[in-house]
Amino acid sequence: MIRTKWRVAGLVGGPIEGGGRASGYFTGATGTTIYRGNAFPKEYSNNAFVGDAGGNLVHRKILIPDGVNIKAQRAPGEERMEFVASTDTWCRPVQFANGPDGAFYIIDMYREIIEHPWSLPENIKKFLDLNSGNDRGRIYRIAPDGFKEPKPPHLGKASIKELVATLENPNGWHRDTASRLIYEKQDKKAVEPLRQLVRKSHFALARLHALHSLDGLGALSENDVLTGLNDSDAHVREHAVKLSETLFRKGHPESKLWNKLQSLASDPDIHVRYQLAFTLGEIDGSQKTAPLAAIARRDKDDSWLQAAILSSMAEGAGDLFADLSRDAGFCESKSGQEFLRQLVAIVGAKNNRQEVARVIDFIGQVKQPAVSFAMVRGLGDGLRRANVSILDAGGNVREILASAKKYAADDNAPADVRLEAIQALSLAPFSDAGSTLLGLLNLQEPQEIQLVSVSTLARFNEPEVGTDLTKKWDALTPRLRTEVIHVLTARKDRAMALLKAIQAGAIQPNALDTTQAKFLRNHRDPEVHELALKVLGTKPTGTRQQVIDQFAPTLSLKGDRAHGKKVYEERCISCHRLGGEGYALGPDLVTVKNTGKEKIMVNILDPNREVRPDYVSFLIETKDDESQIGLIVNETHTTVTLRQPYAKETVINRSDIKKMQSQGQSMMPEGIEAGMSPQDLADLIEYIETADDKPAQAAQK
């Protein structure tokens, strides 16, 4: 609190957080725990509790199902207060626990100082003992009024029968401990009582625990699983579906179990269907096609269910496509078409000649050009992964691509048809499609048409792509130039074309941000490296602190919100969301608006001073000599998803990656202040601090 006052008064340096407020906002979240006790009323069950050690408080959230997802909101009566808020500034809640007595326990680290020593001014630090409290610590028991402490349990001395009975205890600590002890003891005397619990307990969580305990004892039978699959509680059914996988014999369940599993494709609960979509992937053969198709039809608008189904397509994608492609209603829906496009990509990757022919035959019968182009693109992408060209797949593919070329150039055609047609041209030879795609890069075309044309051009390996794009530079808008720079830096030959254009004066060096310039200066190819050093020079010698000092007058200037919005749209919108606009690459600026002008200014001018791990850029080099820089936003065992400005996402197969390396820097480039005055920066900060939190109806992704 003193530090903040001194910073506001200018007595010491350092960023002014919270707009000059010392508290009132989260500085760190820790110890997230779900309450599973029974001392509090039922409405507290399954609530989430989060500590803020800097704010001396514990925050409570109610979790609400939202399809496969969950949402969280403040509890009634706590809209403007916290579940626990201490007046003791040494109180540091860092972890929580559910107790055997059903109460909720807070682990309080209890320290006088929680800030890092480097953040404290010397004139304050000399009066403090930074180790003060290291011999202390508290555990608080939080219980409702009228709480009566029950007798402490002695489960270590309990019999097997008593442990099984404890699975019906409403307190999660008791159930968890009993489950652990049953597993550790491995006493087969527990099997029959557990089966009785599965069949007769009135408590759903007891039935769920009993099923897992039987599995832990190696005693789970088909009848046990069938009982779980027929349970009235959706959570029990969901877990029974997963446990059924242990009974599959070489990928084939027994008929009775299989009949029940496939009937659950129409289960009313989405979580049961979600788990079933995964479990069906463990079954060999075509018998899983019908239930997967049933789930796909029912949940075609749910991206989570679609992903689960596609993950189960290690085999059988062709059969599933054959089933769904006969469903006119499914094929006519946008979500159904997108699912089929992803499905045919899997068919292409498998490269089964019969299945590929079936897809091509279907595409030939499609009457909607946009759909046929999308399907050809999906199949072509899949075949490319199998190192096969779709041009060699037979059928009427060449006629479809010829049609795509005509639609792409037809400015009277519907936008959605043109966009699909342009993307489909990535499958045609560059000698045939290149001139059409380059011709679309003109100011008369809508921006979305030009952007898709650039991303399609990026898929060709021909060296002339780079040279042709640099020749188009003067006709490109700032948004297009950003995309083109990403394409030009991706391959050696394009990077050389870019550097030669800069050397010739056709493109200005400031078209590159600091991250891109650094990448080219340190390029693995000696030719690119040498030309980059010659054209771009070495890294500027000035420090970020010098820039911060230069813009110090910003903090004393009154900002113009309207002009600040224009600055945001020019320099920030490609990577940050604010007021319902922009794209999510860096942090949402709503989350920093209360940190104070000085901290916002420092973060803008020196983006690498404090970088959260999830905003560190990565360089990915592929086996076909492409280089991509971005944030890793998703990883699976087979793919890595890279996000770049304007929320562009590229999914890269791990099998195609030659090198993946952290750049140790923020994706936000240094030098964003180039061409700005202190007043411009003051205007931008004013807009950030005053922008409306509510998203606009036409908000960007």
Q: What is the 3-state secondary structure (H, E, C) of 458-496?
A: CCCCCCHHHHHHHHCHHHCCHHHHHHHHHHHCCEHHHHH
Q: What is the CA radius of gyration of the chain?
A: 30
Residue 54 amino acid letter: G
DSSP 401: H
For 382, counting Cβ atoms within 10 Å of its Cβ (0-12 exposed, 13-18 middle, 19+ buried), the class is buried
Residue 96's contacts (CB-CB under 8 Å, 6 or more residues apart) are 31, 33, 49, 51, 58, 104, 105, 106, 107
| Three-state helix/strand/coil letters over 303-343 | HHHHHHHHHCCCCCHHHHHHHHHCCHHHHHCHHHHHHHHHH
Q: Where are the alpha helices (DSSP H) in 246-385?
A: 255-263, 270-279, 289-298, 303-311, 317-325, 328-332, 334-350, 353-365, 369-385
The predicted pLDDT at position 650 comes to 87
Distance CA(94)–CA(133), nearest Å, equals 15
**Distance between alpha carbon 344 and the CA centroid of its chain, in Å?**
25
Contacts of 85 (CB under 8 A, 6+ apart): 55, 56, 57, 58
Which stretch of DSSP H or E encloses residue 138?
A: strand 138-142
How many angstroms separate the CA atoms of 502 and 510, rounded?
A: 10
Dihedral (CA of 4, 5, 6, 8) sign: positive
Predicted confidence at residue 544, as pLDDT, reads: 83
Per-residue model confidence (pLDDT) at position 236: 98
Find, among 280, 202, 284, the residue nearest to 249 by Cα: 284
- Residue 216, φ and ψ in degrees, nearest 5: -65, -25
84 SS3 class: strand
Instruction: Extract the runs of DSSP E, i.e. beta strands, from 173-212.
Output: none
Calpha distance 163→175 (Å, rounded) = 9
Which parts of the chain sit beneath pLDDT 70? 14-25, 539-542, 693-701
How far apart are alpha carbons 500 and 498 in whole angstroms?
5
Of 414, 308, 419, 421, nearest to 372 (Cα)? 421
Q: Is 403 exposed, middle or buried (0-12, 13-18, 19+ CB in 10 A)?
A: middle
Length of the chain: 701
Amino acid at 384: R
Q: Is 414 in a helix, a strand, or coil?
A: coil
Distance set, CA 270 to CA 244, 265, 295, 332, 367 (Å): 18, 10, 10, 23, 33
pLDDT at 121: 75
Residue showing tokens 């903090």 = 555
Q: How far apart are the first and last CA of the chain?
A: 39
Q: Residue 666: what pLDDT?
A: 85
